[in-house]
Amino acid sequence: MKTKNHTPRQKPEASVVDAPRAVLFDAYGTLFDVYSVGELAEQLFPGHGQALSVLWRDKQIEYTRLVTTCNNGARYQPFWELTRAALIYAIKRIVGPTHPAGINAIFDTEIDRLLNQYRHLSAFPENRQVLIDLKARGIVTGVLSNAEPTMLDMAVRSAGFEGLLDHVLSVDTVRKYKTHPDAYALGEQATGLPASQIVFVSSNTWDSLGATWYGYQTLWVNRYHLPFEELGTYPTRTGSNLRDVLNFFPTTPLSFN
């Protein structure tokens, strides 16, 4: 459900002390449209495609939190395994009770097709040009994602982003998912910059909030006109698409001598 009745408050510009020198993007939901699988889901399960894609995503994120917070991460599983588990759960819950052949009859072919589609998610249309513009301005760019390296590599190549990202960072190296601070720390470690000099960009409210709490300057890309989290902290800026990240940087190449 969409609503336009709540607009997140902006942090005053005076609160931003450091000029940003790098930008890191969340991958799934920000660079890649996680709901683009909905069309195939609808073909496979008529009348259930949208609900299935939404529950799949929600359960996927829920699983990342479970395996990170329980037993101090001892239950960690790679993002691809959680993605598959979340899909199976979503099919069982939404499609299973109504499928005429029973739930076991749909597990193999349909799951494989949807997972293959997830490996090649559509990128939002403006994203590649934004990455090109950032590189032209001399900005360090990267991805900081919950996905493991092989999954990210396939998504980046499929979207045509090769050569446009200086860093492709996976939380798999620390075995803790965002919003754990060890996950966000990867951005500082890779760039050699403090979080205050890095813009973190996400379409996910929870990710934007976690990155802001960690210390990043943040852009929340609010594509669907949703309210932000009501926990007293707001992103540095809010935009409607990825082009809004360009407003953090001057139009000429930067020099940090």
Query: Are 57 and 94 members of one domain?
Result: yes
Domain boundary among the residues 101, 119, 137 is at 119
Do 113 and 228 belong together in one domain? no
Q: What 8-state DSSP symbol labels residue 182?
A: H
Check: CB of residue 111 under 8 Å from CB of residue 83: no
* pLDDT at res. 10: 45
Task: Look up the CATH number of the domain holding residue 185.
Answer: 3.40.50.1000
- Answer for the pair 9, 232: CB distance below 8 angstroms, yes or no: no
Q: Are residue 49 and residue 135 in the same domain, yes or no?
A: no
Do 103 and 152 share a domain, yes or no?
no
The whole-number pLDDT of residue 97 equals 57
Which of 229, 177, 204, 206 has the alpha carbon at shortest distance from 70? 177
Answer yes or no: do 75 and 148 share one domain: no
**Last residue within a domain, chosen from 63, 93, 119:** 119
Note whether 24 and 97 are same-domain residues.
no
**Tokens in use for 186?**
């990867």
Beta bridge partners of 169: 144
Same domain, 94 and 155: no
Q: Which of 26, 33, 207, 244 is catalytic?
A: 26
Buried b or exposed e, range 47-84, using 16+ CB within 10 angstroms: ebbebbbbbbbebbbebbeebbeeeeeeebebbbebbb
Give yes or no: residues 131 and 200 share one domain: yes
Reported pTM: 0.86
What pLDDT, in 10s, does the model give residues 166-186?
999 999 999 999 999 999 999
Beta-carbon count within 10 A of 203 CB = 25
Same domain? 113 vs 183: no
Q: Per residue of the chain (257 residues), what is the pLDDT tens digit?
A: 334 444 444 444 434 457 899 999 999 989 998 888 888 888 888 898 889 999 999 999 999 999 999 877 788 999 999 999 999 999 989 887 555 555 555 567 788 899 988 888 888 999 999 999 999 999 999 999 999 999 999 999 988 899 999 999 999 999 999 999 999 999 999 999 999 999 999 999 999 999 999 999 999 999 989 999 999 999 999 999 999 999 998 765 555 54
CATH code of residue 90: 1.10.150.240
Residue type at position 204: N
What pLDDT score does 250 carry? 75
Answer yes or no: is 74 within a domain: yes
Q: Is residue 212 part of a domain?
A: yes
The distance in angstroms from the start CA to the end CA of the chain is: 49
Residue 52 lies in a domain: yes
The whole-angstrom separation of Cα 213 and Cα 210 is 5
Final residue in a domain of this structure, among 76, 103, 119: 119
Say if residue 128 is in the same domain as residue 238: yes
Same domain, residue pair 135 and 229: yes
* Structural domain range at position 111: 34-119
- Domain membership of residue 257 (yes or no) is no
**pLDDT for position 231:** 96
Domain tally for the chain? 2
What per-residue confidence (pLDDT) applies to 255? 53
Is residue 153 among the annotated active site residues? no
Residues 22 and 44 reside in one and the same domain: no
